[in-house]
Structure 1
Amino acid sequence: MTRLSSALLLLALLAASVFVGASAASAHGFSSVVYAHVSSTEPERVQAKLALEYDLTLVSVGTSEKDDAFYRVGQKAWDDGDYPGMVEAAEQNHDALADYVSKRFSVRAAGGEQCTAELQKNVTVDLQDEVPYANLVVDYSCPAPSKTRSGHTVTSTLFPDSETFVTGTKTIVVYAVDGKQGSATLDAQQKSFSTEQTSFQRFGEFFRLGAEHLLGGIDHLLFLVALIAGSRRLREVVLAASAFTVAHSITFILAALGVVSPPSIVVEPLIALSIAAVAGWYLWRLWRRRSGADELVVPASAGHFALDRAGWSRLAVVFGFGLIHGLGFAGALGIHEAFSGQLLISLLIFNVGIEAVQLAIIVLVFPPLSVLRKRAHRASLVVTGIVTAGVFVMGMIWFVERVAAG
């Protein structure tokens, strides 16, 4: 197979993936985040403060524990926005809630012995990212550690994919146990962690989570695809990707610090609109300039970056949209405040995971596109036009859907 054929095949597959990905219209709308603060003052006593989405808890407990009363009363209170009613429903069905939590969130001593869980009677409900969350406190009694083994293992299987209510649930754990502090993220692939885990293991989990988030977030992927397809030279796509990286890192960190916390009802439609806008930018240029759409007209005084006026304008637009996507990355983890310095470092590693995948996609896609432009210029315009048109259509569909859902 020639280099030209390889380039055409890869870009054709890329175009097909745009339409195959259409079913994932809401990259962040069908997942959930559970928060857990795990602490202990002595090895035999561990406490977990859990925050779970209230409506998911109703359905999950009602299904697994066959507690129809909790679901019926709690759902009515949830529909009415009756917070005292939500609390009352949870406290009246304490036993079913306790059984559910003890099965889905467990702590084990160093030797593997199960710690005994006891759910406290008091429950509170508050808003997190405009969603009611139930706040529970669970006390664990654990066997005394041996002289040779220490540490605890925390496991979460809350809201699993098998229940089909949500997919890709993440449990973010911040812990201060056994004299060690840190954070971890648990999901279907990584259900447990040990408080004896190394920094490399802890940060590796967040790196993986960041990489998986970008790969699983079709909207962010299509934004990147539109960015690559509309870039005329390698320096242009590198500068655009760098601007996007800097921008979403800024808002990601600000969200992690609790400085900004815009509602997802605003962020998600804007992300969809940004996808359509970046794709539309290239389609407009293709319509105006036809075969000259990918020409780069750089004046002699262009400077070190060697971009023309259109290139600089596009860079500014990409930076602005990168700020919005950073809020989407943070929203995917439900981040509103810096729980600890360790968590903030972990979130930065999460961001590095995103960037690693982004760079890999650029390395994979742009060279074949460059070869295609040199060997079959007209064909390259057709392929990139089809790809960006598909991205534009999907971005607009998602924008309308997300505005309507809000």
Structure 2
Amino acid sequence: MMHHHRRRRVPFARAAAAVGAILLAVVLPAGPAAAHDSTTSAYAEIERLGSEVTVELELEYDLLMKSAWLYAEAYEATDPAEQLRQLTGNADAVDEYVTERFAVDADDSRCLLERGDAPDLRQRNDRAFAVLSYVAECRGGEPGTLAVSSALFPDIEGFVHDTETLVSWDLDGARGSGMLDAGAPTIELDATAPQFGAFFVLGAEHLLLGLDHVLFLVALLLGARSIRGVVLNARMFTVAHSVTFLLAGMGLVNVPAAIVEPVIALSIVAAAAAALSRRETAARWRPPVVFAFGLLHGLGFASALGIDEGWSWELLSSLIAFNLGIEAVQLVLIAIAFPLLVLLRRTAAAGPAILIAAVLVGAAGLFWFVERVIAGVSAMA
């Protein structure tokens, strides 16, 4: 009897080990689940029209208020009206923090940033961002070559790490875009050649750190029965998210994050449930369903880039580089996970392992769905 009992337990032990191997191989490269909470992006838009240079910055509200060393009542505020009141009332402290860490130079001479329009708020990915406007007073009248530098939210402050500042500019009609980080804190705006490599890395990082996107891919792999199925589903997902990503990134499509983010979470639940189905109808309907959900994931990718200008070749190049970074990481994850799944399906532990993995992935998606719905309702209240 004891021997029989031990034999019944072996498949489940193997299943647990197999699940751990698959999830560790795929999810560990994506970093911790709290990656979105430990990093941030800043957004800067520079415009020059003749002799006038204006700067608009978007900085995560609570992080800005913490970094400016304001009281808890300022950075803990969640009501938009209260946040705007705190932002306006503490404008001097906020300006001091920002102007010490963000600079505009004209012909190698530092410009003085004077406060412009009143501060405002904007929602990005269900987070409040402070919108700060400045007028750059540069020496010598009409500015020549412009450069911007950013040391906003450095690692040394201890609140976040690896801050990236996405910069877009319009210099008398000449547009461009680039990215600043600790390794490259300055960019010359007249150099309109896009930073292809920087946006490629940014796209790769976004997929790696976006655990919801990673788990959606895991669920697709769990449901795949052959390499042909993997390629087909990956192709559907790639085409779909590329279409909406490019359209949304150029400002042609705009769907609120309060809608997109919960549905992305729901797509994880649906993909996990589909992975457990062995019916032929499920296999037949999987590619179009993956395509539909891929359209939503593309909107989620676009919101991370934060560029919503009109058409320009510089913008298109940045979007393509960002998207290629996403695709490169997606292919790497598939190359790691699918061989493990092939080996797993040849063992007796395959059924329990896939069941456990699908349940865990689906539970994570369901949790995120409820969390994001509640956050969206709270934001509208």
TM-score by length of 1: 0.74
Aligned with residue 209 of structure 2, among 208, 216, 226: 216
The answer on 1:36 being equivalent to 2:44 is yes
Pair 268,41 (structure 1): closer, same or farther in 2 beyond 3 Å: closer
Return 5+ residue gaps in structure 2 as ranges: 1-15, 377-381
> Quick check: 1:247–1:319 contact (8 Å CA) kept in 2?
yes
The answer on 1:118 being equivalent to 2:113 is yes
The answer on 1:233 being equivalent to 2:226 is yes
> Quick check: 2:84–2:121 contact (8 Å CA) kept in 1?
no
Pair 226,85 (structure 1): closer, same or farther in 2 beyond 3 Å: closer
Distance in 2 (CA, whole Å) between partners of 1:172 and 1:383 is: 42
Partner of 1:52: 59
Pair 313,188 (structure 1): closer, same or farther in 2 beyond 3 Å: farther
SS at match of 1:258: coil
Partner of 1:101: 98
> Quick check: 1:34–1:170 contact (8 Å CA) kept in 2?
yes
Partner of 1:301: none
Pair 188,383 (structure 1): closer, same or farther in 2 beyond 3 Å: farther
Partner of 1:304: none
Q: Percent identity?
A: 42
> Quick check: 2:54–2:133 contact (8 Å CA) kept in 1?
no
Letter matched to residue 60 of structure 1: S
Partner of 1:79: 79
Pair 19,178 (structure 1): closer, same or farther in 2 beyond 3 Å: closer
Distance in 2 (CA, whole Å) between partners of 1:153 and 1:31 is: 25
Partner of 2:362: 392
The answer on 1:89 being equivalent to 2:89 is yes
Q: CA deviation at 1:48?
A: 2.5
The answer on 1:314 being equivalent to 2:286 is yes
Partner of 1:127: 122
Partner of 2:22: 14
TM-score by length of 2: 0.78
Q: Deviations over 1:57-76 (max 9, x none)?
A: 33322x1xxx66xx86x669
Partner of 2:167: 173
> Quick check: 1:45–1:142 contact (8 Å CA) kept in 2?
no
Bigger mean CA offset, 203-212 vs 185-194: 185-194
Pair 138,160 (structure 1): closer, same or farther in 2 beyond 3 Å: farther
Distance in 2 (CA, whole Å) between partners of 1:19 and 1:353 is: 17
Pair 312,386 (structure 1): closer, same or farther in 2 beyond 3 Å: same
Q: CA deviation at 1:256?
A: 1.8
Partner of 1:366: 338
Distance in 2 (CA, whole Å) between partners of 1:259 and 1:134 is: 22
SS at match of 2:276: helix
Q: CA deviation at 1:248?
A: 1.0
Distance in 1 (CA, whole Å) between partners of 2:137 and 2:18 is: 54
The answer on 1:191 being equivalent to 2:185 is yes
Partner of 2:302: 330
Q: CA deviation at 1:98?
A: 3.5
Distance in 2 (CA, whole Å) between partners of 1:14 and 1:191 is: 38
> Quick check: 2:30–2:208 contact (8 Å CA) kept in 1?
no
> Quick check: 2:18–2:344 contact (8 Å CA) kept in 1?
no
Q: CA deviation at 1:346?
A: 0.7
Return 5+ residue gaps in structure 1 as ranges: 1-7, 145-149, 290-307
Letter matched to residue 400 of structure 1: V
SS at match of 2:348: helix
Letter matched to residue 251 of structure 1: T
Partner of 1:202: 195
SS at match of 1:229: helix
